[in-house]
A and B are shown apart, each in its own frame.
Chain A
C-alpha cells in the first residue's frame, strides 16, 4: 500500500462522516451485488449479470468527486456506478428482477440502468458504444457554457473499438470536458490484456495530444487523489484526458460465464487478500480511528439488510404489463396531448 494519499487535498477535505459514507457506499455496492448473485442463481433474474465486485473503489472514488454539472456514463457493468451516483437499491434490484418498479420499468435490465436526474446516463450494452455519447454530453456541457465534466467509463476491452478512437479525436480536437476512464480489470471477457491490446492503454492518448495517466485503483484515497486533478482541469480548462484505473473483478465476465479457463483461482485470491478495495479502505479508516470494529460490523449488517429488503421489494413488485410494451418508445406517443405528427407509429 502506497502511503500518503489520505493527505492529498481531495481527501484531506473529507470529514470523518464523509469518509465513513464512502466506505459505506462501497460496502452497499458489494452487498447489493452479492444479493443479486443469489437472486440470479435462484433464477429470479434473467439475461446477463456483470458483477462489479472487486472494482468498487473506482466508481465510488470517481463519482464521489462529482459536482452538480458533472456527468457519468458507463458500459454494461453498471451497478456500482448507479449506487455511487446515489441511486437507491430498490429500483435497481427491481430492474434486475424485470419489475415495473425498476429504474427502467423493467425495460432495460442489468446492463441498462439510468438516472438522468442524477446525471447518470447509463448503462450501455455494446462495448465502446457509450463512448461517443459521453463525448456528446461533454459537448453539450461546453455548448451550454456549464463548467462540468463527463466521466466516460469504459473497460479495457473497449479500447480497441473504433468508436473509442473516434471519440478521442473529437474530444481532443474540440477541447471537450470529457475524461475517458478506462477501468482495467485485466480481462476483456476471457481475453487478458496481453492477448488483446498492444501497448499501454492510456498512452494512446498521446497520439491525439491528450493528457493521460494511470494508477492503481484498489485504494479509494488514491483514486480520488488521482482523478481530482483531471476533473478540475476538465471543468476549468475544458481539457479532455484518458486515464487508466487498474482494478480487478472477482467474478466471471457475466456470472454465467466459466471463470476457470483463462485465469487461476490463486490469482483472484491473491488480489482479494492483498488489494480488496473495501478491506484496504477499512484498514485505513481503522488506523485513522474513523472506523471502529463495531461500526464496521454495523455498516455491514445494515448493507446486508438493505440489500435483503431490496430483494423483497423486487420480489413483491409487479411485472410490467404487456400493455406497457409500446410505452417509452416515442416521446410523442408518451405525450399524446402534445403530439404534432399524424399517422401510425406502431405496426401489427
Chain B
C-alpha cells in the first residue's frame, strides 16, 4: 500500500468522486489555478476542467450560500473554506440555510453539500485563523461534522461525505496535511459515525479526534515506556453522528476516561461527551472524567506559547498521570 500525504488522500477522494458522479463540483478560493492554498486540489483543474473545479472570489457568504442553493437542485458541491475560521462570514448560510431548510420545508428539501477545509491552531496565525468550530457546528441538528486524523480516514470519510445526502462539515488540519500514511488505491469507504480504536490499552481511555489523536498516540507511547501505563486511544472521527457505543465499550474496558480536544473547554465537544459517559456508564467509572483542552483564551500568536496553549503530548501525559495518581 502506498504511503501518501493527508492532503493527497483528500485529493484522491475528490478525484474519485469527481470521476464517479458528474454532479460533483469543487468550488472555493484558489482551488483551481492556484492549486489550493494548501495544495489539496493540485492537478484537479488540469484533470477535470473549469466546469468541475471552480475558483471563487473571496466571498464566503455568497459562494457557500450559492453551493447550498445548487445542492437543493441536486448538484453535489464540495466547497473549500481556505480556513474554517472564515465560516463566521458564512454562518447564516451554513447554519440558518443548510442546517434548517430540510426541517422548515417539512422534509421536502435536502442539501447534499460538503464544506471542507482546515480548522486548527498551532501555526502561529493568531486568533482569527485558528478557530476549531466543530462544537458550534455540531450544536445544530441537520448538519454532520467529520474531523479525520489520518490519511486513510480522510480519504474514506470524505468519499462517504460527498455521497451523503445531508450537509457535511469536514474539518481538516493544516499541520496534518503533510503527514503520510498507508492508503489503498482501491475503492473503500469509511462510514460517518464510526469511531476507531487507534491504540488498544487497559488502564485508561483517551477519547479524542483530529490532530490530538496523533498527539495522544505519542503520549500513550510515553505512558507505556516511561510509566508502564496502558492507554487506549479512541478516535471519534465523526462528532455528529457520534459513535457512543464505541465510547461506552472502551469505558467498560478501562474504567477511566480522558477527553482530549483542540477546543476551548466551555460548551466544547468534551463537555457533551463527559455528560453522556457519566449518564450512561456511571457505575463503570473508577475516577472522574478528565478533560484536556486548548487553554481558554483566544489563540495566541507567540509560537512557543501557542504550543502550550494547545493539546500536546506532554500536556496529555501529565493529564493522564494526574488522573491515575
Q: Contact residues of A with B, CB < 8 Å?
A: 71, 73, 102-108, 112, 114-117, 121-126, 129-141, 143-144, 162-163, 166-167, 169-170, 173, 326-332, 334-335, 340-347
Interface centre among A133, A173, A340, A344 (most CB of B within 10 A): A133
Segment at the interface with A among B58-66, B170-178, B199-207, B285-293: B58-66
| Residues of chain B contacted by A73 (CB below 8 angstroms) | 69
List CB contacts (< 8 Å) of B51-98 with chain A: 51, 56-57, 59, 61-75, 92-93, 96-97
Q: Are B194 and A136 in contact (CB under 8 A)?
A: no
Interface centre among A73, A166, A329 (most CB of B within 10 A): A166
Q: How far is the CA of A330 from the CA of B276 in the complex (A)?
A: 22
Q: Are A332 and B166 in contact (CB under 8 A)?
A: yes
Q: Are B68 and A136 in contact (CB under 8 A)?
A: yes
Q: Are A341 and B68 in contact (CB under 8 A)?
A: no
Range of interface residues on B (Cβ < 8 Å): 35 or more
Q: Are A170 and B63 in contact (CB under 8 A)?
A: yes
Q: A167-B62, A341-B144 are in contact. Are A114 and B108 (CB under 8 A)?
A: yes
B106 at the interface (CB under 8 A from A): yes
Q: Are A140 and B238 in contact (CB under 8 A)?
A: no
Q: Are B73 and A140 in contact (CB under 8 A)?
A: yes
Q: How far is the CA of A144 from the CA of B74 in the complex (A)?
A: 10
Q: A132-B62, A136-B73 are in contact. Are A124 and B97 (CB under 8 A)?
A: yes
| Residues of chain A contacted by B64 (CB below 8 angstroms) | 132
| Residues of chain A contacted by B195 (CB below 8 angstroms) | 343
7 nearest A-B residue pairs (beta carbon): A136-B69, A132-B65, A166-B62, A343-B193, A140-B73, A343-B241, A328-B107
B33 at the interface (CB under 8 A from A): no
Closest residue of chain B to A324, judged by CB? B106
Q: How far is the CA of A30 from the CA of B105 in the complex (A)?
A: 24
Partner of A343, one of B103, B105, B194: B194
Q: Are B141 and A346 in contact (CB under 8 A)?
A: yes
Q: How far is the CA of A240 from the CA of B29 in the complex (A)?
A: 23
Closest residue of chain A to B102, judged by CB? A328
| Residues of chain A contacted by B241 (CB below 8 angstroms) | 341-345
Shortest distance between the CB of B246 and any CB in chain A (Å)? 8
Q: How far is the CA of A170 from the CA of B67 in the complex (A)?
A: 12
Q: Are B108 and A116 in contact (CB under 8 A)?
A: yes
Q: Are B105 and A114 in contact (CB under 8 A)?
A: yes
Q: Are B105 and A104 in contact (CB under 8 A)?
A: yes
Q: How far is the CA of A104 from the CA of B100 in the complex (A)?
A: 12
Q: Are A140 and B69 in contact (CB under 8 A)?
A: yes
| Residues of chain A contacted by B189 (CB below 8 angstroms) | 340
Partner of A342, one of B63, B142, B163, B194: B194
Q: How far is the CA of A163 from the CA of B242 in the complex (A)?
A: 33
Q: A108-B106, A129-B93, A163-B93 are in contact. Are A342 and B191 (CB under 8 A)?
A: yes
Instruction: Supply 23 A–B pairs (Cβ within 8 Å), ascending by A.
Output: A104-B104, A105-B106, A108-B106, A114-B104, A123-B104, A136-B71, A137-B70, A138-B69, A140-B70, A141-B73, A167-B65, A169-B59, A170-B59, A328-B107, A330-B102, A330-B166, A340-B163, A340-B191, A341-B194, A342-B191, A342-B243, A343-B193, A343-B243
| Residues of chain B contacted by A112 (CB below 8 angstroms) | 104-105
Shortest distance between the CB of B29 and any CB in chain A (Å)? 13
Closest residue of chain B to A326, judged by CB? B141
Closest residue of chain A to B139, judged by CB? A347
Partner of A136, one of B65, B242, B243, B272: B65
| Residues of chain B contacted by A135 (CB below 8 angstroms) | 62, 65-66, 69
Q: How far is the CA of A112 from the CA of B104 in the complex (A)?
A: 6
Q: A103-B106, A114-B109, A342-B241 are in contact. Are A163 and B92 (CB under 8 A)?
A: yes
| Residues of chain A contacted by B315 (CB below 8 angstroms) | none
Partner of B96, one of A71, A129, A341: A129
Shortest distance between the CB of A269 and any CB in chain B (Å)? 36
Q: Are A328 and B192 in contact (CB under 8 A)?
A: no
List CB contacts (< 8 Å) of B248-271 with chain A: none
Q: Are B105 and A126 in contact (CB under 8 A)?
A: no
Q: A143-B75, A330-B142, A332-B164 are in contact. Are A122 and B272 (CB under 8 A)?
A: no
Shortest distance between the CB of A314 and any CB in chain B (Å)? 15
Q: Are B61 and A340 in contact (CB under 8 A)?
A: no
Q: How far is the CA of A10 from the CA of B160 in the complex (A)?
A: 48
B11 at the interface (CB under 8 A from A): no
B295 at the interface (CB under 8 A from A): no
| Residues of chain A contacted by B101 (CB below 8 angstroms) | 114, 122
Q: How far is the CA of A279 from the CA of B259 in the complex (A)?
A: 68
Interface centre among A106, A121, A169 (most CB of B within 10 A): A121
Q: How far is the CA of A293 from the CA of B13 in the complex (A)?
A: 67
Shortest distance between the CB of B147 and any CB in chain A (Å)? 13
| Residues of chain A contacted by B243 (CB below 8 angstroms) | 342-344
Partner of B106, one of A134, A162, A328, A340: A328
Q: Are A343 and B107 in contact (CB under 8 A)?
A: no
| Residues of chain B contacted by A170 (CB below 8 angstroms) | 56-57, 59, 62-63, 66
| Residues of chain B contacted by A341 (CB below 8 angstroms) | 144, 160, 164, 191-194, 238, 241
Shortest distance between the CB of B114 and any CB in chain A (Å)? 14
| Residues of chain B contacted by A134 (CB below 8 angstroms) | 69
Shortest distance between the CB of A217 and any CB in chain B (Å)? 25
Q: How far is the CA of A117 from the CA of B73 in the complex (A)?
A: 11
Closest residue of chain A to B93, judged by CB? A132
Q: A173-B57, A341-B164 are in contact. Are A136 and B70 (CB under 8 A)?
A: yes
